[in-house]
C-alpha cells in the first residue's frame, strides 16, 4: 500500500505532480520539498516580464498557498533534500528531517551552467535561473548600464531584449557562428539577430570569453582575440546542466540526466523522476532525450504521478517550446533531430514565416516565427506523424494541413 | 473584485473573486480551476487556457489579436466564442462574466 509519497523539487514538474496525485485520488501523506524559499513558481517570465518589473512576485507562483493546504500537500520550503537512501526508502532534508516514503518522485530540474574562466569570482557576475538571481540583476542594472550577455541562446537573447527595453546598453557574446545555433535553423538565427541589432543590441558571434577583469568588481570582459567589452553587469546564459547529485550519490544511474524508462521510473522501483533532470526514451524520436521545457516538465510529471499510483502510462509527447524577444515570438513544435530536409514557408522579411523539418516525408519539427497558426497545426500533424508534400509545404498560401500528402508534385 | 464563474469540464461551477488587473487565466489557475492548464503562463504560446465565452459578453472583451486568432484556429474544438483566457484582463466591467472550459486543451 502506498501511504506516503514525497515529491522533491518545486518547479513546474513538482508542482504538477502533487496536483495530479490529488486529482487522481491519492489520499495518503503527500510532501513537496522545495529548495527555494518561495512557493513553486513559473520560471519562463524570469528573463522577460519579471526581469522588467512588469510582473510582480505575487504573480509567479503556480498556486496560492491555500491550494496546498486544501489539498493537504505538506510543503517544505527552502529545504533542499541532501541525502537519499533507496534501500531504507528515506530522504534526508537540509535541516536533518528524515522522511520515509513509499514512492519518491525526483523533479530536481536543472541549474545554470557555470562560466569557467579567470575572474568569475568578481562581483558583477550573474546567472538567470531563479527569482533570487533576477532580484540581484535588477539591483545591478539601471538605464544606461552596460550589460554583457555571455551566450546567445534563449536566455541570453530574452534577457538581452529585456535589458535593452529597460534602457541598458547591451552586448551579446556568442561562441558559435550564430545565435541560438543549437535550437533553430540559420535563417531563424539571422532573423532574430537582425531584430536585436535593429533595437540597438550589439551581437558578436565567434567570440570566446577568456577572462573577466576589474578592480573590486567586473569592469570588462576580455575575449580571445584580445578585444574588451566594458561591463557594469555580466549575465551568463550558457545552457543548463541537469541536477542529479541526489540521485547519483544514491547510486541511481545518471547520464546527462537521471536515467528513467518511458514510465518515468528510475532503476529503483519506488523512485521516479520527471522534468529537466531526466534522460528518457522518446519512442517517437527513436532515441533517448533530455528536454528542458515547461511542456515536458508538465507532461512527464503528470505521467509520472499516474505511474506512481501504479497506472502504466508511457511518456511520449511532441515537445514544444517558445521564446519572446522584443515583439517577436518564436514557437517551436517537435524536435529537429536527424532530419533529412528543411523547408522554408514564407519570407523572413515579412516577419512571419516558418521552417519545417522532414525526416523522409514525416513532419518532425516546425519553427514558427510570429506564426501561431503553423505552430498549432504542426503540433497536431507531428503527433499524427503526418507525411507531407514538400512542394506544397513550401507554399505559404496553403495551410499546413493542406500540405499533407506523400506524393511530390511540381518537381 | 469582480466575480467570475468558470464552468469546469465536469460541469462544476467555480465562482472566483478575481483581482482587477490580472488575467482570467491567472484567476483560474491560482484557484486550481480544473481544465485550464496555461502552461506558458500567459505568453500566448500553448493554447491550453481556451475558454468559451457567453455570447453576450464577447463585445465587452474586445477583439482577438492575430496571435490568439492563429492559436485558436488550430486548437481543439474552436468556436466563434472561443478565447484564450490569458489574453483577457480582469476589469470591473467583467462582474458576472461566465466562461465554459472545454474538455480538452491544446493542439494534440
Q: pLDDT at residue A343 above 90?
A: yes
CATH 3.50.50.60 domain span(s) along chain A: 4-111+241-308, 125-236
Q: Answer whether B22 sits within 8 Å of A59, measured CB to CB.
A: yes
What are the CA-CA distances from residue A223 to residues A150, A163, A227, A232, B104 (Å)? Answer: 11, 22, 5, 16, 51
CATH says A327-403 is which class?
Answer: alpha beta
Residue B35 placed within a domain: yes
Fold for the domain defined by A125-236: FAD/NAD(P)-binding domain (3.50.50)
Burial of B80 (0-12, 13-18, 19+ CB in 10 A): exposed
Residue B106 placed within a domain: no
Q: pLDDT at residue A410 above 50?
A: no
Look up the ipTM and state it: 0.91
pLDDT digits (tens, 9 = 90+) for A231-266: 999 999 999 999 999 999 999 999 999 999 999 999
Q: At what angle do helices A372-383 and B66-73 cross, to 10 degrees?
A: 20
pLDDT digits (tens, 9 = 90+) for A182-224: 999 999 999 999 999 999 999 999 999 999 999 999 999 999 9
Residue A115's CB: how many other CB atoms inside 10 A? 17
Record the cell numbers describing residue A4, joined without a space.
506516503
Average pLDDT value for residue range A69-93: 98
Predicted pLDDT at A1: 87
User: Residue B54 — φ and ψ, nearest 5°?
Assistant: -50, 130
Which of A17, A39, A40, A41 is closest to A30 using CA atoms?
A17
Nearest chain A residue to B28 by CA distance is A63
Give ∠ CA A48-A51-A54 in degrees, rounded to 5: 80
Predicted pLDDT at B75: 87
Strands in A183-311 per DSSP E: 202-204, 209-213, 220-223, 228-230, 233-236, 240-242, 258-259, 271-273, 278-282, 287-289
pTM for the structure as a whole: 0.94
- How far apart, in whole angstroms, are the C-alpha atoms of residue A11 and residue A385? 31
Given a contact cutoff of 8 angstroms between Cβ atoms, the answer to whether A173 and A179 are in contact is no
pLDDT digits (tens, 9 = 90+) for B31-65: 889 999 999 999 999 999 999 999 899 999 989 99
Q: What's the total number of domains in chain B?
A: 1
Q: Answer whether B108 sits within 8 Å of A59, measured CB to CB.
A: no
Q: Is CATH 3.50.50.60 the classification given to domain A4-111+241-308?
A: yes
- Give the pLDDT band (50/70/90) at residue B73: confident
B47 shares contact with chain A (CB less than 8 Å): yes
Which of B29, B43, B45 faces A62 most closely, judged by CB atoms? B29
Taking a contact as any Cβ pair under 8 Å apart, which residues of chain B between 53 and 72 contact chain A?
Answer: 66-71
Predicted pLDDT at A375: 96
Please provide the average confidence, as pLDDT, over all residues in chain A. Answer: 96
Question: B87 lies in which domain range?
Answer: 3-100
Which domain CATH number covers B92? 3.10.20.30
Which of A336, A334, A338, A303 is closest to A321 using CA atoms?
A334
Q: Answer whether B71 sits within 8 Å of A372, measured CB to CB.
A: yes
Predicted pLDDT at A411: 40
- How far apart, in whole angstroms, are the C-alpha atoms of residue B75 and residue B62? 20
- Give the pLDDT band (50/70/90) at residue A409: very low
pLDDT digits (tens, 9 = 90+) for A273-310: 999 999 999 988 889 999 999 999 999 999 999 999 99
Q: Answer whether A376 sits within 8 Å of B70, measured CB to CB.
A: yes
Query: How many separate helices (H) and strands (E) can be counted in chain A?
Result: 9, 26
B44 shares contact with chain A (CB less than 8 Å): yes
Q: How many CA atoms lie within 13 A of A24 on its CB side?
A: 17
Nearest chain A residue to B75 by CA distance is A376
Residue B37 placed within a domain: yes
Predicted pLDDT at A284: 86
Greatest alpha-carbon pair distance for chain A in Å reads 70
Given a contact cutoff of 8 angstroms between Cβ atoms, the answer to whether A179 and A197 are in contact is no
Residue B30 placed within a domain: yes
Which of A287, A355, A289 is closest to A319 using CA atoms?
A289
Residue B39 placed within a domain: yes
User: Residue A245 — φ and ψ, nearest 5°?
Assistant: -55, -45
Which of A318, A322, A380 faces B40 most closely, judged by CB atoms? A322
Given a contact cutoff of 8 angstroms between Cβ atoms, the answer to whether A363 and A339 are in contact is no
Predicted pLDDT at A406: 67
> Residues of B with CB below 8 A from A322's CB?
40, 43, 45-46
Amino acid at each position: 500500500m502506498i501511504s506516503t509519497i514525497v515529491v522533491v523539487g518545486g518547479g513546474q514538474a513538482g508542482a504538477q505532480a502533487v496536483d495530479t496525485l490529488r486529482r487522481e485520488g491519492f489520499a495518503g501523506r503527500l510532501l513537496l520539498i522545495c529548495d527555494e524559499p518561495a512557493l513553486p513558481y513559473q520560471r519562463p517570465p524570469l528573463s522577460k516580464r519579471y526581469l522588467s518589473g512588469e510582473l510582480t512576485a505575487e504573480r509567479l507562483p503556480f498556486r496560492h498557498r491555500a491550494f496546498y493546504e486544501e489539498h493537504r500537500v505538506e510543503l517544505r520550503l527552502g529545504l533542499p533534500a541532501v541525502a537519499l537512501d533507496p534501500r531504507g526508502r528515506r530522504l534526508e532534508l537540509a535541516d536533518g528531517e528524515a522522511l520515509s516514503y513509499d514512492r519518491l518522485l525526483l523533479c530536481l530540474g536543472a541549474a545554470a551552467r557555470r562560466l569557467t574562466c579567470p575572474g568569475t569570482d568578481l562581483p558583477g557576475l550573474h546567472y538567470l535561473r531563479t527569482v533570487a538571481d533576477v532580484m540581484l540583476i535588477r539591483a545591478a542594472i539601471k538605464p544606461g548600464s552596460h550589460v554583457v550577455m555571455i551566450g546567445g541562446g534563449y536566455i541570453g537573447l530574452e534577457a538581452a531584449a529585456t535589458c535593452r527595453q529597460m534602457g541598458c546598453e547591451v552586448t551579446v557574446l556568442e561562441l558559435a557562428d550564430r545565435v541560438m545555433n543549437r535550437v533553430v535553423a540559420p535563417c531563424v538565427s539571422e532573423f532574430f539577430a537582425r531584430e536585436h541589432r535593429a533595437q540597438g543590441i550589439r551581437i558578436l558571434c565567434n567570440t570566446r570569453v577568456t577572462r573577466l577583469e576589474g578592480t573590486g568588481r567586473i569592469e570588462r570582459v576580455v575575449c580571445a582575440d584580445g578585444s574588451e567589452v566594458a561591463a557594469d553587469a555580466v549575465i551568463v546564459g550558457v545552457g543548463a546542466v541537469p541536477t542529479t547529485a541526489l540521485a547519483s550519490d544514491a547510486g541511481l544511474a545518471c547520464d546527462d540526466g537521471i536515467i528513467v524508462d518511458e514510465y518515468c521510473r528510475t532503476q529503483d522501483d519506488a523512485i521516479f523522476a520527471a522534468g529537466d533532470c531526466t534522460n528518457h526514451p522518446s519512442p517517437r524520436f527513436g532515441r533517448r532525450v533530455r528536454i528542458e521545457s515547461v511542456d515536458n516538465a508538465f507532461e512527464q510529471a503528470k505521467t509520472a504521478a499516474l505511474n506512481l499510483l501504479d497506472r502504466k502510462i508511457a511518456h511520449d509527447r511532441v515537445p514544444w517550446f517558445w521564446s519572446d524577444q522584443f515583439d517577436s515570438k518564436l514557437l517551436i513544435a517537435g524536435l529537429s533531430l536527424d532530419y533529412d530536409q528543411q523547408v522554408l514557408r514564407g519570407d523572413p522579411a515579412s516577419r512571419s514565416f516558418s521552417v519545417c523539418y522532414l525526416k523522409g516525408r514525416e513532419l518532425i519539427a516546425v519553427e514558427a516565427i510570429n506564426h501561431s497558426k503553423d505552430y498549432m497545426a504542426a503540433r497536431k500533424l507531428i503527433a499524427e506523424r503526418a507525411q507531407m508534400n514538400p512542394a506544397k509545404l513550401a507554399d505559404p498560401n496553403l495551410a499546413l494541413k493542406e500540405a499533407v500528402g506523400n506524393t511530390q508534385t511540381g518537381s | 473584485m469582480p466575480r467570475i464563474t468558470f464552468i469546469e469540464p465536469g460541469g462544476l461551477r467555480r465562482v472566483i473573486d478575481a483581482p482587477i488587473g490580472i488575467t482570467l487565466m491567472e484567476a483560474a489557475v491560482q484557484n486550481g480551476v480544473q481544465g485550464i492548464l496555461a502552461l506558458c503562463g500567459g505568453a500566448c504560446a500553448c493554447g491550453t487556457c481556451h475558454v468559451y465565452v457567453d455570447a453576450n459578453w464577447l463585445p465587452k472583451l474586445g477583439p482577438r489579436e492575430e496571435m490568439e486568432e492563429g492559436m485558436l484556429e488550430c486548437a481543439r474544438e474552436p468556436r466563434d466564442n472561443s478565447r484564450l483566457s490569458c489574453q483577457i484582463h480582469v476589469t470591473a466591467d467583467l462582474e458576472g462574466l461566465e466562461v465554459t472550459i472545454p474538455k480538452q486543451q491544446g493542439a494534440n
